[in-house]
Amino acid sequence: MTPEGLTFVFFSDGYDDGFKFGHIDYEHFISELNDRGSKKLAQLITASAEEGNPVTGLIYTPLQTWVAKVAQSFHIPSTLLWPQPATLFHIYFYYFNGYGDIIRSITNDPSCLVELLVLPQLSSRDLPSFLVHSNPDSDSKPYKGLLLSIKELLDTLNEEANPRILVNTFDALEPEVLRAIEKLNLIAIGPLVPSAFLDRKHPSNTSFGADLFQKSRDYLEWLDSKLESSVVYVSFGSMAILSKRQVEEIARGLLESHRPFLWVLRATENGEKEEDELSCREELDQLGMIVPWCCQVEVLAHPSLGCFVSHCGWNSSLECLVFGVPMVCFPQSFDQPTNAKLIEDVFKTGVRVTMNEEGIVEGEEIQRCIEVVMGGGEKGKEMNKNAKKWRDLAKEAVREGGSVDMNLRAFVDEVEKDFIG
């Protein structure tokens, strides 16, 4: 259902039949997207003006820098919406503003650390994956293309007189980082979670645009049957692809934890159900529930949840903070290693798994981390205490008169002044 006052306009990116990341000409894809998107947006702005309903501002996301260029051509203010933590933005900013050699110097030595002004000390395992040159994917065209796209984004912001960046975080979560770059105005407007789960003012607003798959909701009844804070929730998002061996190790870790679990295990690209191939399927069915999809915010808000084994995408990480759920951090790529660093060492609401020499997280390690979070030890108690603290601060941020409310009002006032002026 489309929210009132919101209209969607679609355009073709030239890949209407879809594509597999890593199996396309990335430069051609970006070129097509930029060209087709720019033309469609320009047509929309022109048509809106002719109808007496002029566009007064544009908001765009990373990799869509062409939106800002179209805005400039029409003398319309534009604003970047950064969907990752402010810490990630700063890492990229420093990388392209004098610290690139320092960051590159640590990527092949796990023992080396780099300290970038207000950011925590970072090792190579804490950096975004395409900055780590020891990562075999870092030299691939898509990874290089992503890095160049980020550079283009920063160059575009640098050209603006008063660049504004809306960030999916909240003031109390990253206070120093949000204020660290004087010439850039980073505005915290998160957590971007349906309002029904936060302020309860709009109880019907439980929809979440990131849910790509919709199946049975029997899992909610299953959760209702479990004790408070007893369930381990396992999900690796909508994009991560795990090896069969890694899936088997996760299954083994869950069995060894002896705790009820809800595991989201998507079908493969060929439509095969990975759970059907598991060697211990019968034992798993006795202990937990495996589903191809679930509404994550509803699961995390459920009182039976005790722990989230996650790939640490920022949406998932922030949702955990919002609902006060501690994490077992199992990062895969992109921004996830940095998010895991924040969860474990800065927000202190989770524990990070350690891979073996073959890059596999073994079942014993998964079981150990679950036990740290849920076993009743001092470290787990501290994580749960911190998780509840961030939950309360997140709700405080989005209340009327809270930091998000104030930040958004100030942002709208600025955009209005820019357009009128």
What confidence category does residue 210 fall into, taking pLDDT thresholds of 50, 70 and 90? Answer: very low
- Between 17 and 369, residue with greater pLDDT: 369
In this structure, are 239 and 386 located in the same domain? yes
In this structure, are 261 and 346 located in the same domain? yes
Phi, psi of 11 (to 5 degrees): -145, 155
For residue 138, is pLDDT > 60? no
- Between 29 and 367, residue with greater pLDDT: 367
Kindly report the pTM of this predicted structure: 0.92
In this structure, are 111 and 88 located in the same domain? yes
Half-sphere exposure of residue 268: CA atoms within 13 angstroms, side-chain side: 11
What confidence category does residue 140 fall into, taking pLDDT thresholds of 50, 70 and 90? Answer: low
Domain containing residue 223 = 215-397
| pLDDT digits 0-9 by tens, 304-339 | 999 999 999 999 999 999 999 999 999 999 999 999
Question: Which whole number is the average pLDDT over 97-122?
Answer: 88
In this structure, are 365 and 413 located in the same domain? no
Q: Answer positive or negative: Cα dihedral of 213, 343, 398, 169.
A: negative
Q: What angle do CA 304, 306, 309 make, to 5 degrees?
A: 125
For residue 222, is pLDDT > 90? yes
For residue 212, is pLDDT > 60? no
- Position 90 in a domain: yes
The Cα–Cα gap between 64 and 91 comes to 19
For residue 249, is pLDDT > 90? yes
Q: Return the minimum-mean-pLDDT range out of 27-31, 208-212, 333-337, 396-400.
A: 208-212
In this structure, are 267 and 386 located in the same domain? yes
The Cα–Cα gap between 138 and 26 comes to 14
CATH code of residue 292: 3.40.50.2000
What confidence category does residue 209 fall into, taking pLDDT thresholds of 50, 70 and 90? Answer: very low
- Position 410 in a domain: yes
- Position 52 in a domain: no
